[in-house]
Structure 1
Amino acid sequence: MKTLSKFATTVAILSALTGCASTGGIDATTATNTAVNTIGTATNIGTAVFQTAVNQKCQSEIKSNQYYKLASLAMTSEQQTKITESVCGCVSEKAPQSVSLTDMATAAIDSTACTQIVTKAVSNTLQACVSEFVK
């Protein structure tokens, strides 16, 4: 019974986070279906949806950064894509470790909190991932 309750809670969080993941233009239904097909547990699905939202925010942050804009003038579009995918892939991997389960539950209830929590996760991990990539 406890497992069923935990599963139901996780599904509720996943449903709410789907709205969070869709803020950057990616179809939330497609992202959720992909996650369901590739990840076996409800907890991992919630994490995958969170990571999608983090990836979208990361891409936006990098592309609006003045140093990236300047550096990108000397790069091909393939190089720009490789850099943003590498750095944001790292950020997406590390982001779930930078937020608590309480934050995840809050994000599920409050869309404003979701935006703030995703922003916090990106801020907490972006610099570390850029440093790893530059080495």
Structure 2
Amino acid sequence: MKKYIMAVSVAVLSFWTHSQSDMSLTQKALKPVIAYQCGQELKDSKIWKVSTYLMQDGNKAKLEHNVCNCVGEKALKDIPATTLLKATVSEEAKNQVARQAVANSLKGCVQELVK
């Protein structure tokens, strides 16, 4: 039964991921997870703490929102559909995808927004 559900999910996910213009439903579902993970990573980062130390709380929150929104948009684009599918059915896989996605795109988004 589990293999059947997985096979159907792969077929559905493959159909959705062929859309070039919009995010897939899986990407849309994982975007909040990625954004949350991004926020946690930033708050735990010594570099983030030092670089935003003198910022007002409102400006710091806005920058965090913009960075994590960018991460959420870009993070999942290079992750294979099968990995995304696993993330929809496995909490461990979802957390792994979120960490990988944040790590892969965080630096680029910060540099993009700071320019």
The TM-score, its normalising length taken from structure 1, stands at 0.65
Per residue, is there more helix in 1 or in 2? 1
For structure 1, which runs of at least 5 residues remain unmatched after alignment? 1-7, 14-42
What one-letter code is carried by the residue in structure 1 that aligns with 2:26?
G
2:20 alignment counterpart: none
Q: Contact 2:67 / 2:109 at 8 angstroms: preserved in 1?
A: yes
Matched, 1:49 2:49: no
For structure 2, which runs of at least 5 residues remain unmatched after alignment? 1-7, 14-22
Matched, 1:60 2:46: no
What one-letter code is carried by the residue in structure 2 that aligns with 1:9?
S
Matched, 1:88 2:88: no
Q: Contact 2:75 / 2:101 at 8 angstroms: preserved in 1?
A: yes
What one-letter code is carried by the residue in structure 1 that aligns with 2:89?
I
Encode CA deviations 1:25-77: one digit per residue, 9 max, x unaligned.
xxxxxxxxxxxxxxxxxx74322111110000001111111011122220111
1:1-135 alignment runs, 5 A limit: 9=9, 44-135=24-115
- Cα deviation for residue 9 of structure 1 reads 2.6
Q: Contact 2:34 / 2:102 at 8 angstroms: preserved in 1?
A: yes
CA RMSD in angstroms comes to: 2.2
- Cα deviation for residue 119 of structure 1 reads 0.5
Q: Contact 2:87 / 2:94 at 8 angstroms: preserved in 1?
A: yes
Q: Contact 1:54 / 1:121 at 8 angstroms: preserved in 2?
A: yes
Percent identity, aligned pairs only?
Answer: 27
Does the residue aligned with 1:99 lie in a helix, a strand or coil? coil
